Homo-oligomer: A and B are copies of this chain.
Amino acid sequence: MRRKSRKQSMATIEPAFLTRRIPPYELLSEEALSSLEQQAEWLLTEIGIEIHDDPVALQLFREAGASVKGQRLRFDPGHIRALCETAPKTFTMHARNSKKNLEFGGDNLIFGAAYGSPFVTDLEGGRRYGTIEDFQNFVKLTHMSPWLHHQSGTICEPTDVAVNKRHLDMVYAHLRYGDQAFMGSVTAAERAEDSIAMAKIVFGEEFMRDHLVVQGNINVNSPLVYDNTMTSALRTYAQAGQGNVISSFIMSGAMSPVTQPALIAQCHAEVMIGIALTQLVCPGAPVVYGSFLTTMDLKSGAPTFGTPESTLATLAIGQLARRVGIPFRCGGHLTSSKLVDAQAMLESGNAMNCGVMSGANFIFQAAGWLESGLTIGYEKFVIDAEQCGALARVIQGLEFDQEQFARDAYLENGIGNSFLGSEHTMRHYRAANFDAELCDPNSFEQWRDEGGKDMQQRAHYKYKKMLAEYEMPPMDQATDEALLEFITRRKSSMDDMWY
């Protein structure tokens, strides 16, 4: 009767990325999807898109057959979709630790840290501007979180480093304190070049000619505009054969009409333009179809997250992205809450769950977000990361072999008796359930006697413990010195800019 369970639990292994074994949720019919695609084509044909202050990009589109008037581009129906066709359906992204290489696309799912907050917060120090030490801390926490696969990029803004130099310290932190995949700078073309140059020091110029190791996170300036900062960074990464993640970050009612179908179709049109541009620069360049669709409080103009309308939009855009057939990015643990309260995890859970169910391949912003992205929280980070683990278990689905049906347990146990002591339970109890250590399931009395802590307080203890136990992944000394030498040289070539 005794057999070894053939599978280890998700809780005891640490995959470099996840593979989905459950289907995505199909919200919309073929007819509805087709009407969204038609609306996107209408936008590209009748309204068009503008690329501001980037004659190179305009020229590329002109040569590809677009109608260009001033900075406005218009496309015949189907043209942009056709230009996206050289983008790879799946691709590998190489990490410094090759065991942590990532496969984008298909049934794969990659979780990454938050991106872009000027502020950081924790229970002890409260909300304050982020520093390079905070940045390093979040790279360390990402490195230590078994359920985060990608270090993201600007995890927080290191505001104690000059604006024109901080990308160097950020990329160094990504390369030195962690060994997973990461994103480089996109705030200027030369900063993207610096990011690529630093990656070459670690990965080798030769290797990077045909291997992806660094991505740019490119946002559309919705509605229907790309600005030169983004398109030049995009072109820099694509030219180097490196990656881009193209996303529309749209709050409906401001950067799009307030109705979700308009929002969804606009996102589709906008993102395809960015994808097409990567392919015009370098056919076959690895690129991700990104979306970041949400709502706003129309009374105050404040962004809102995890809302029902954003859930529907995210599920729909996932279907459209799958039809284009390239890796899809969306959502994350998003909230407008200022602290890690009920609102924070209600909104975050909604936003993240629909992202996973939408069939996403890449969800950064998966750990740390607070305050509509203005703040990254230490406690929020470890709570979100743990929830990524729970979702990893969900997408593993169920298996239906005889061992899972436990007939031996029923035959052993009879009727009316607890299964806690049965052989079958013994065989499975370690691997059976995901262990969410920050959730306290204990009795009221035990919980009270242990201090009556809320989840945020438990998370505070956990993140402190993790940082105390952090071990730096190895890097050979020559590489490290070369990185530092590069940074010193680049920094000494510039005056500090603080805005």
Contact = CB atoms under 8 A, between A and B. Distances in A.
Contacts of A400: 31-32, 35-36, 261
Contacts of A439: 304, 336-337, 343, 346-347
B297 A441 contact: yes
Interface string A263-284: 0010000000000000000000
Contact of A456 (B47, B301, B341, B409): B341
A355 to B, nearest CB: 12
Contacts of A224: 415-416
B47 A410 contact: yes
Interface stretch (A19-27, A177-185, A462-470, A490-498): A19-27
Contact of A311 (B394, B404, B422, B428): B394
Interface in A436-451: 436, 438-444, 447-448
Contacts of A413: 223
B343 A438 contact: yes
A477 interface: no
Contacts of A32: 398, 400
A347 to B, nearest CB: 7
A374 interface: yes
B410 A225 contact: no
Interface residues of A, number: 122
A127 interface: yes
User: How many subunits of this chain does the assembly comprise?
Assistant: 2
A36 B447 CA distance: 38
Contacts of A259: 403-406, 424, 428, 432
Nearest to A390: B308
B307 A338 contact: no
A295 B409 CA distance: 17
B304 A433 contact: yes
A404 B343 contact: no
A207 interface: no
Contact of A343 (B353, B433, B454): B454
B344 A419 contact: no
Interface in A232-255: 252-255
Nearest to A347: B439
B307 A419 contact: no
Nearest to A302: B441
Interface in A335-351: 336-350
